[in-house]
Amino acid sequence: MHSFGERLAATFVTNGHLCIGIDPHPFLLEQWGLPDSEEGLREFGLRIIEATAGTVGIVKPQVAFFERHGSVGYAALEAVLTAARDAELIVIADVKRGDVGSSVTAYGEAWLTPGSTLEADAMTISAYQGVGSISGPIALAESTGKGLFVLAATSNPEAVVLQTAVIRHGPFSGETVAAGIVGEVHTVNTSSNGMGSIGLVLGATVSVADYGIRPEHLANTPILGPGFGEQGAAFGDISRVYGAASSNVIVSVSRGVLRSGSGGVAVEIARRRDELAEAMGT
């Protein structure tokens, strides 16, 4: 069994670093001529999978837009996840779950268990209660070839105060909350030969240096980079933001591509893929 980090590294080589968000905002469904319903969600997701497969290798469904429709929304999401797995895409479930003990372990089981109707290759997760609180999902991910992306320095401006607060106790005392999370994730990944399977969410609109994050702690860590396009970051910013860790970054775009509509999304995805490859020199 290959680890998530190994599979992600292989995807970077064959399909590049671009990740397409599957975010069925109501306004996008309307632009695509689809109803804001189970049928519309399903069709929206399946069309994106069709446009993505063979062009890029990673997709990221934003679960909240499916969840707001309750059980029928989850039924639509399950169909989209199945199609993505059949297309051999790496799927990151953007769920941002977080809790302690058996509760967070159950979240992990929902999204990372092979054969689950919600099975994804990785999920986003919150460690607000401490990185140790998500030890269950970490162990599950490592035992099943799955991955996690732990929120560290996010692209929303209101997060700055909390994420740059200074830790007062423990091995990362004196460092920022973001830097402490990065350091603990780095420790988890130190046993990996090559890229680890426990990643970080580091927004492209933040300055890693301003958060006190040590570059050496990003060396073998996958990075999910939101904030490109609609939130202001450009592909040309990757090296400035992530430095030597740029080769580990999953570059996530959604609305900027999806606004092109059902008829134009495949062309727009291919264009962004080529622009990103040029910017990264790959």
CB atoms within 10 A of CB 68: 12
Q: Classify domain 4-152+232-280 by CATH number.
A: 3.20.20.70
pTM: 0.96
pLDDT in tens, 88-135: 999 999 999 999 989 999 999 999 999 999 999 999 999 999 999 999
Residue 262 vs residues 24, 83, 91, 149, 268: alpha-carbon distances, Å: 12, 17, 21, 29, 10
CB atoms within 10 A of CB 139: 12
CA-wise closest residue to 66 among 104, 99, 33, 93: 93
Exactly one of 25, 85, 96, 255 is catalytic; name it.
Answer: 96
The mean per-residue pLDDT over the stretch 227-249 comes to 87
Cα–Cα distance, 107 to 216 (Å, whole number): 30
Band of residue 191 on the pLDDT scale cut at 50, 70, 90: confident
Regarding predicted confidence, which is higher, 183 or 156?
Answer: 183
For residue 34, give the 3-state DSSP assignment: coil
The mean per-residue pLDDT over the stretch 205-210 comes to 88
The mean per-residue pLDDT over the stretch 161-180 comes to 95
The mean per-residue pLDDT over the stretch 188-200 comes to 91
Give the residue extent of every domain in the chain. Answer: 4-152+232-280
Q: 224 Cβ partners below 8 Å, 6+ apart?
A: 19, 60, 92, 124, 149, 199, 200, 201, 202, 249, 250, 252
Cα–Cα distance, 251 to 235 (Å, whole number): 8
Opening angle at CA 2, ends 117 and 121, nearest 5 = 30
Percent of the chain residues topping a pLDDT of 70 = 100
Q: Report how far apart the first and last C-alpha atoms of the chain are (Å, whole number).
A: 27
Cα–Cα distance, 78 to 182 (Å, whole number): 31
- 146 catalytically annotated: no
